[in-house]
Structures are given as C-alpha cells and as structure tokens.
Chain A
Amino acid sequence: MDGLDDIVEEFLVESHENLDQLDQDLVALEQDPRSRERLSSIFRTIHTIKGTSGFLAFNRLEEVAHVGENLLSRLRDGALDLTPSRTSALLSMTDTIRALLAAIEASGGEGTVDVADTVALLSAALEESPAAAAAPAEEPAPVEPAPAPVEPAPVAAAPAKKAPVRKAPAKAAAKAPAKKAPVRKAPAKAAAPPVVPAPAAAPEVESIHAPAPGVIDLPAVAEVHQEVPVDVPPTPVAPAVPAEAAGDLAPEPGTPEAQSGRRAVADSTIRVDVDLLDNLMLLVGELVLTRNQIVQYVGRQNDQDLVRASQRLNLIASELQESAMKTRMQPIDHIWSKLPRVVRDLGLQCGKSVRLEMEGRDTELDKTLLEAVKDPLTHLVRNSVDHGIEDKAGRAAAGKPAEGVLTLRSRHESGQVVVEVADDGAGIDPAKIGAKAVERGLITADALTRMGPPDLLQLIFLPGFSTAAAVTNVSGRGVGMDVVKTNIEGIGGTIEVESAPGRGTVMRLRIPLTLAIVPALTIECAGDRYAIPQISLQELVALDAEKAAAAVEDVGGASVYRLRGELLPLVHLADVLGLPSDRHDGHVVIAVLSSEGRRFGLVVDRVINTEEIVVKAVSGQLKQIGLYSGATVLGDGAVALILDVQALARRALRTETTDRQEHRNALAAAAVSATERTRMLLAAIGGGRRVAIPLDTVTRLEQVRSETVERVGSREVVQYRGAILPIVRLDRHLGAYGETDREVLEVIVYADHGRSVAIVVEEILDIVDGEAAVQSDIDDLGLLGSAVIGDRVTELLDVRAAILAADPAFYTSSAPLAELPTTGFDSPAFGFDGVSPNHLTEV
C-alpha cells in the first residue's frame, strides 16, 4: 500500500465512507421508494465518485458510476420509478464499485474487475420502459438472478440494518477472489482472458466464501509471479493477489472475514481533530504527574499490593504517554520532501548546480511544530542556495567541485530536535557583516570593535539586515533572518549560525518538543528545586569536604575539577542564579553535563531525585532570561524550573576567561578553524617557564608519588596500570630548575602505537585553544619555538625529542612494552582514590 499516493488513498477512504452511506440509503429507499431526499443523497454520492474517478483515470469505475448516475438522475427527476429490478441494479453497482475500490487499493489499478454485466444491468434498468415495468421478469431474468443470490441478504434482513450491510462487502470481496481464482489458473494454459461470466460467479460465492483466502497460499503466489510476464490482459489482477496474500492478509488468512487490503485503509485509520489530540496529551501529562505523586507516596508504604498496583500504574502510564505522543508525531520528511524541487529550481534560476543531501529524514517531531518550522526551513534552504553557495566560476576559483552540496540533517538531541541546513559555500565573512551592520546603522562602529566573530555572526538576525549585494527575486524579498528567528523562537526554539569563511555555513535550529515528557534529574539550589534534562547529564560526582578542598582547583580564577585526569570547568549554579547557596559544609555535588560536545560541571547544593517531568512552556518574558527551557510540576505539586543546559553552557563557558581573551581566542580559532585548531596543554616546568604541549598527544594526566619512581639502568621508570613507563623530567630535559624532592609528581602520559611515556612537569596550568604555528623561532634544544598564549610567552615542546630522551626506541620499535589499559576510564585515577563518580546509568 506504500505505493498509493496520497490522493488515491484519500479518495479510497472517502469513497468507502460514501459507500457505507450508500448502502444505508439504498436499503432505506427500498422501504420508501419515493423519497426524493434519499435519491438525491445517493445521486450526489455516485456523482462524487464518478467525478474523482474520472480525474484519477479509473475508467471502468467512471463508466459504472456514469451509467448509475444516469439511472439515478432519471429516478430523481421522477422520469422513472424505482422497481425492484432497478434497486437490484443499483445495489449491484455498489458491489462493483466496492470490488473496483478493493482492486485499486490492492494494486493501484482497476484489476480485472468486470463491469460489463453491471453496466448492462444498469442500462437495461434505464431502457426499461415504464409500461414494461410489469413484465421485466422475462427479459432481464437471465441477468438478474446473478446478483440476486448476493443481494437478498440485505434486503431480507432489513430489521438488523448494520449486519447485512457488513456482510454484503464480505461476499463481494469473496466474489472478487472467486473470479480471480480461475483467472489465475487460466492464463497459465491459454492466457484466456474470457472473464468469468456472472452466472458462474454467483454459485461460487457460497462455496468459495470461506476457502477463498486459503486458496491464496504461498505456492500460488510463486506461480502467479511467474505468470506475470506471460499474460497481458489479466496482469493487473495477478500482482494484486500476491500483494494481498503476502502482505496484509498474511496474519489472518484463517478468518473468513479476512478481506482484501481495503479494510486496512478504510477501517484502520481515523481522522481526529488535532485539538482532541492536544487535550489527550494534556491529560496524559496530568496522569504522568499524578503517577509520579503516587509512586513517591507508595515508596514510603509497606503494603505489597499497593506497591504492585503502583508499579503497574507506572508501566501503563509510561506506555500510554508514549502512544499519545506518537499520535502527534510525523517524520520531518513531510516537509523535506518538497525541498529537492525547490533546490533544483532555484539552482537553475541562479545558474548554480546544487546537490541536496538529507540525513535523518525519519526524525519525528510534533505535527504542530512541523508546520511551524516549514517556512523558516524553506527560507534557510533558499538562502543557502542563493547566497551561500557560490556560482560555478566562484567555486572553480576556490578550488571546489562545481557542484555545491546542501545538506539537511535532523536528529533528536537533548530532548530537542536539531535541524541543520549546511552548505559548502563561501561562508559568511564576519568583517563584512560588521561593516554592513555599521553602514546600515544597526550598530555603532565603536560597538563593532568590541565584538568577536560569534557576536558578529549574530548580527544577521537583526531586523533590516541583508548582505545581499542585490535583492534578487529569489530571496531578500523583505523576509529576513529576523523573521526566521522570530518564528523559531515563537515555538520555543533557537537558531544558531556557524560559518567558516570559504568553507560553508551551518544554520542550526533547535526545536523543543513542547508538551514533551522527559526524564530529568531534580536538584536543589539555594532552597529551590530545579530540573535538568537527563539527556544532558553524564554523571554525578559527590565530594566530601576534605576531598573537595583538594580536588577542586583554580585556573586563573575559574574553578575546575580533575575528572579522571581531565580538567572539568565548574559552574556554580547558585552564582549563575545570583542566589546564596545554602550548602556550607564544604561538600560539593557536581552534575557533569554536556552540551554541544563540551563538558562542564554544574555545582549544585543537593541531588534530589530522577523523575519524568512534563515540560511546560514558560512565558516569553521568562524565556528571555536564557536559563530556563521551561517549567514543570513536581510530584508534590510544586513548580520547578527546567534548566536550559545549552544556555548555561554558553553563559558559563564564556565567563571562564575574560572577554578580551575570549575574543582573541575566537579570532585565532576562526583563523585556524580551517586547519583544525590545536588544543594545547599548558604546564609549568619551573623557573617561571611554561611549555605548551599539543593535547592530542596527551592521553591522560596523572599524579604519581615520588617514592614509586624506580630506576632501570640510568633511566627512571614508574609502574602504571601494569605497565612500566619511562619517565622524562621536562625541567631537566629543558634545562630548567624546578623544585626537586616533590612528593607528588604531575605526570602527562603520552601514548602512541601501544607505547607510553610519562612526562613529568611541575604543574599543569590550563588547556587552551591555540594556534600551532610557531610565532617565533627563538628556540632551544627540545623546543619547536615559542608563542604567546594567554598574554605570556610559552615554549612549544618538541614532544618527539622529549619522548626520545626517555625512550630512544619509542618511535622505532612497535613492540609495546605492555598493553595499555584501554578501558581504564572508569576507574578513579591515582591520587584521587575515594572519589568515586556516581554514574547514573540505569535511570
């Protein structure tokens, strides 16, 4: 049924509805043959079917409906009277229409359903002169008996209206296979399409009624498939049969009622008012909240029955919630499917060749949201083709393939739907944006000097901003990015822009699942409870006062925690909220969160619980604060705010360094973003000297006690996770004068090709994003040069030389000294023993 296009499907659903009405009307007409109203209703129904079938080129269907319509119009006009034979003819028409619809639904075509008899019957009924009405018995007699065995049921069983109506289609359906059955065998021998005459079908109806579905067994399917290329006229019906047998009918071939696939569309879908679904969703949300409340309450009880019942309630509520959510979900492909055409036409118009790629087209999102993002998304796509991707000459000049690539991606992330429109075009030049904004008077030149590239990119969302040199008729018709932004924010979403000049632009929409129910961690801060979506949460770390004092360190005023060797920037929620924390016992509870690939630790007062929360939108006023993505009602009825982890990350990771520093870093980062920026580990080696080590060569940071250092010949080694690591002391290696006799050595573990060395430094300072290029070649033995990082001259370590100093065979021998543990990340590092991160995996 997948092949049916929407119009046909709609037509089928509608026609089945109409036919049900028609059955009722015809039966009622029997009782009251003179009812104009009924006749008009029947006429309208047939007229509608005729019109649509003509439009869809179902010619036989149109033919039947047309003749029927003629008869009905005469009846309606009073030119003819309704006789039993005419009623039979009309009922026969309904059956034929049903059979045709069944064939259309199964195969997409009209199959071999024969309409000649019915047409003849209807024509006869039409010709039948009013005078001859008394003597129809002789002439149409041979014709009439055929449908008669089928029809008496509804007519005779008039008291129980519904039942006979339901049976009639069953028989009609049985009749269709009955006809097909001989057809299927016949072509194999003679390909003789003499469609089974009506009289033959009539007696068979009774006998084949039940076995019919059984007849269509698998061998038959195989047989039919082979026939397909052989016979010509019956082809349409041949595939129809296997389609039913192999597909929809397969699960229920035993039931006599097992009918053609028709039921599937007509009876398995139902049109529901979206408001009703909204209301359903709201109620389910309430149920989930009440469930939370009950589960919390029951948790304190000892009554086993109550506990069991609440567990069941828990399960059912979850399933109900999921199903209710699904009723509103549609794949994003619904709005994507028209974009290839947009891109193609637009590309032609702009003289560009653009290939559209789509990833994640089955990502589902709420129907109303889908509607809301349709226009903004189309606008972004148009923008990319029009402004983003260069023309062929431009691309050739930039050394890119002539064909531009526009990529649409969508995925679920952190309880949101992320939709990206990415192109490999020229990108957005921040300087140009800035100049344009000043020119248009949107910002002052003074303000411009204080802005970093990320802020500059944001300018494109200002009303009245346009970089297009000329307003084309494609975009720039006054609908700007500000409108896109407003629309997206209107549904509680955000839009981000990322651009690398010369390499392309990514527009990223984050759309929340409003009304969504998400698992969350509830925490307490300054006496209030807040919810953190579980999806952003990686783990929880609890430190008692003593450990916290040692493990929470400070990098230039920003606090960090060494989480298994990595520096985790810490954000104190109380500070962010501007409230005094009520935790004064020195304990530190860190929720390790990740956002957009960056990790940070949120320091909270207390962890309370994990529970499913119903996300409620908050007013725009509160959304503007940029810390809350919504609110929820907790089990006890109190309202809790939901923290917006993305916004928190942006806010927190910005305050990590001074603005000036950040801008410089950002500039540097933008400059090298094309060549992959290098993250550098800064370490002090004594004597006030600092060295920078490319982070990608560092596997771990460790602390090693001095007394564990042993000697092998003239070299120092340390046992580390079952391996022996040679040590290089950077201070000695580089001729600095560091403190000797330290109890604990700060060690950088470097591993490559299965071999590792331990590089001892005085202190680990920071991790910075820096440019790997040497800015000064004043160097010394063991150094690559120096650079200014964070306002201070920093030496760039020649890692290779340092390692060779410790292990001359490091690069030449591939034989590992011992296997490095590869899954060691979940065991606490040396020196932090006792700090066991509390993983929240099972929630």
Chain B
Amino acid sequence: MSSATATMPASAQLATFWLDGDLFGVEVEHVQEVLRSQGITRVPLAPPAVAGLINLRGQVVTAIELRERLGRKPRPEGQEPVVIVIRLHGEAVSVLVDSIADVVDVNVRDFEAPPDTLDGVGRDLIRGAYKLDGQLLLALDVNRAVGT
C-alpha cells in the first residue's frame, strides 16, 4: 500500500485541502464527499487523533483529526473544520481539515520525495511533494493517515 510511489501513474488528480497553512492532496478517487462541519460525538479514551464519530446518513463514521495525526497544533478556537469522507477498502472514514481547495491535476515529473530533514509523523504520512507554481502540494498517504 505504501509503495504507491513506485506505481504512481504519470499524472493524477488530487483533491486538495488546507491544513495548518499547508496545502495537502489525496487521490481524488479516494474522496467520497466533503461535508461542512457537523455534529461530532467524542469518544472518551480513544486515541487522540480520533476526533469522534459522525453520522453520515445513518452510517457511523470515525472522524480523524488530521492536525493531531500530523502532529500540528490544534485548530484555533472558533474555526470550524471541514469533513472529507474518504472511502478505503469499502469502508468510509472521515478526516477533519481546515478548508477544502480545488481538484488539481498533477504530473509525476513535479513529484519529489520528502526531504531528508523531514522526520517524525510527517515522514510516515507524507509521500512527498508536488512542486506547483509558487506552492508545494503535499501528497498525503491516505492509508496511513486514517489507519491505526
């Protein structure tokens, strides 16, 4: 699963979103839908990255706080997260991000593996960066980001 880099197609479409000032992207085929912020039921004693559970039209879906998962600082008070519902192996999981951005066509020529200086959780969860004009697009490893 993590060998996505090896088999990466020449071009791909990434759904992008903002998180703590960075632009991230996930393969568009993994994204089921995007929801405005909605009621989240917290789960006491759950791992810190689990923000809680949301009701997705009757289906109970775990919500992952991506800021926590990536070791970023908590979202400022009053800023409502956006929920991206991701479908992996037939199961829906959702991640909380700051705001949603465009779907971007990226070319594999613009891709670079993470710099050697990147360590910690970032190294595990970020596959690399696409060099867009004036902006780096960080490719999120979805499987790892929402996995346990």
- Which A residues fall within an 8 A CB radius of B? 282, 285-286, 289, 526, 528, 577-579, 616-622, 625, 627-628, 631-633, 637-641
Asked if A618 contacts B42 (CB within 8 A), the reply is no
How far in angstroms is the closest Cβ of chain B from A528? 7
| B19-55 interface (Cβ within 8 A of A) | 39, 41-47, 50, 52-55
Bound Cα distance from A625 to B39, whole angstroms: 22
Question: Which residues of A are found within 8 Å of B59, using beta-carbon distances?
Answer: 616
Asked if A632 contacts B42 (CB within 8 A), the reply is no
- Which B residues fall within an 8 A CB radius of A? 39, 41-47, 50, 52-55, 58-60, 62, 91, 93, 148
How far in angstroms is the closest Cβ of chain B from A609? 16
Asked if B43 contacts A633 (CB within 8 A), the reply is no
Question: Which residues of B are found within 8 Å of A619, using beta-carbon distances?
Answer: 62, 91, 93, 148
Question: Which residues of B are found within 8 Å of A577, using beta-carbon distances?
Answer: 44-45
Q: With A286-B58, A289-B58, A633-B60 in contact, do A620 and B148 touch (Cβ < 8 Å)? A: yes
Asked if B46 contacts A625 (CB within 8 A), the reply is yes
For the complex, would chain A's binding face be called helix, strand, loop or mixed by DSSP majority?
Answer: mixed
Instruction: Give 27 A-B contacts (CB < 8 Å), ordered by A residue.
Output: A528-B41, A528-B44, A577-B44, A578-B44, A578-B45, A619-B93, A620-B148, A621-B50, A621-B148, A622-B46, A625-B43, A625-B45, A625-B46, A627-B44, A633-B60, A637-B39, A637-B55, A638-B41, A638-B55, A639-B39, A639-B41, A639-B52, A639-B53, A639-B54, A639-B60, A640-B41, A641-B43
Q: With A289-B58, A633-B58, A637-B39 in contact, do A618 and B53 touch (Cβ < 8 Å)? A: yes
Asked if A631 contacts B45 (CB within 8 A), the reply is no
Question: Which residues of A are found within 8 Å of B52, using beta-carbon distances?
Answer: 639
How far in angstroms is the closest Cβ of chain B from A523? 14
Asked if A641 contacts B53 (CB within 8 A), the reply is yes
Asked if A621 contacts B47 (CB within 8 A), the reply is yes
Number of cross-chain contacts by CB at 8 Å: 62
Question: Which residues of B are found within 8 Å of A637, using beta-carbon distances?
Answer: 39, 55
Question: Which residues of A are found within 8 Å of B47, using beta-carbon distances?
Answer: 621
* Further pairs besides A621-B47, A621-B148: 10, Cβ < 8 Å: A617-B60, A618-B53, A618-B60, A618-B62, A631-B41, A632-B60, A633-B55, A633-B60, A639-B41, A639-B52
How far in angstroms is the closest Cβ of chain B from A427? 35
Asked if B39 contacts A622 (CB within 8 A), the reply is no
Closest chain B residue, CB of each to CB of A282: B58
Asked if A621 contacts B53 (CB within 8 A), the reply is no
Bound Cα distance from A289 to B47, whole angstroms: 29
Bound Cα distance from A628 to B52, whole angstroms: 13
Question: Which residues of A are found within 8 Å of B91, using beta-carbon distances?
Answer: 619
Question: Which residues of A are found within 8 Å of B45, using beta-carbon distances?
Answer: 577-578, 625, 627
How far in angstroms is the closest Cβ of chain A from B43? 6
Question: Which residues of A are found within 8 Å of B148, using beta-carbon distances?
Answer: 619-621
Asked if A616 contacts B43 (CB within 8 A), the reply is no
Asked if B58 contacts A631 (CB within 8 A), the reply is no
How far in angstroms is the closest Cβ of chain A from B40? 8
Most chain A beta-carbon neighbours within 10 Å: one of B43, B50, B52, B59:
B43
Bound Cα distance from A638 to B38, whole angstroms: 10
How far in angstroms is the closest Cβ of chain B from A792? 35
How far in angstroms is the closest Cβ of chain B from A218? 54
Bound Cα distance from A619 to B146, whole angstroms: 11
Asked if A622 contacts B62 (CB within 8 A), the reply is yes
Bound Cα distance from A616 to B55, whole angstroms: 11
Asked if B58 contacts A285 (CB within 8 A), the reply is yes
Question: Which residues of B are found within 8 Å of A617, using beta-carbon distances?
Answer: 60
Closest chain A residue, CB of each to CB of B91: A619
Bound Cα distance from A633 to B55, whole angstroms: 7
Question: Which residues of A are found within 8 Å of B50, using beta-carbon distances?
Answer: 621-622
